[in-house]
């Protein structure tokens, strides 16, 4: 069973606004950035297994790529997977729901930071 999660979403805000909201959401969830490139719209962060004081049980790697769309909005492509203790992609033994919870929190933090 693959643990990698791939998601695509469209937003009605410009790419720069979405990038700043995604960056803020990752920072708010205590992510440690590996890559921050506003020109390409790429954010890559690692998350510890304890986020906001709650033990999720698995570390995680999350990549977000933001691009503009033809209608003036933005597209967000997200790839995420759990990590083992030394930072390698976890191939077996992931805790059920840990990554799903982190991504739900990311979505909530992202939407909170977007203009209404």
Q: Which residues contact 12 (CB under 8 A, 6 or more apart)?
A: 72, 73
| pLDDT at res. 70 | 86
At 66, is the pLDDT very low, low, confident or very high (cuts 50, 70, 90)?
A: very high
More confident residue, 34 or 91: 34
Q: What does pTM read for this prediction?
A: 0.92
| pLDDT at res. 95 | 86
């Amino acid at each position: 069973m693959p643990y990698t999660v791939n998601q695509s979403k469209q937003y009605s805000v410009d790419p720069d606004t979405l990038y700043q909201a995604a960056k803020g959401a990752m920072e708010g969830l205590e992510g440690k950035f590996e890559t921050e490139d506003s020109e390409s719209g790429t954010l890559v962060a690692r998350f510890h297994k304890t986020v906001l004081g709650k033990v999720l049980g698995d570390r995680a790697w999350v990549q977000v790529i933001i691009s503009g769309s033809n209608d003036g909005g933005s597209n967000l492509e997200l790839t995420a997977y759990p990590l083992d203790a030394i930072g390698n992609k976890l191939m077996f033994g992931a805790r059920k729901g840990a990554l799903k919870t982190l991504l739900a929190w990311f979505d909530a933090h992202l939407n909170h930071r977007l203009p209404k």
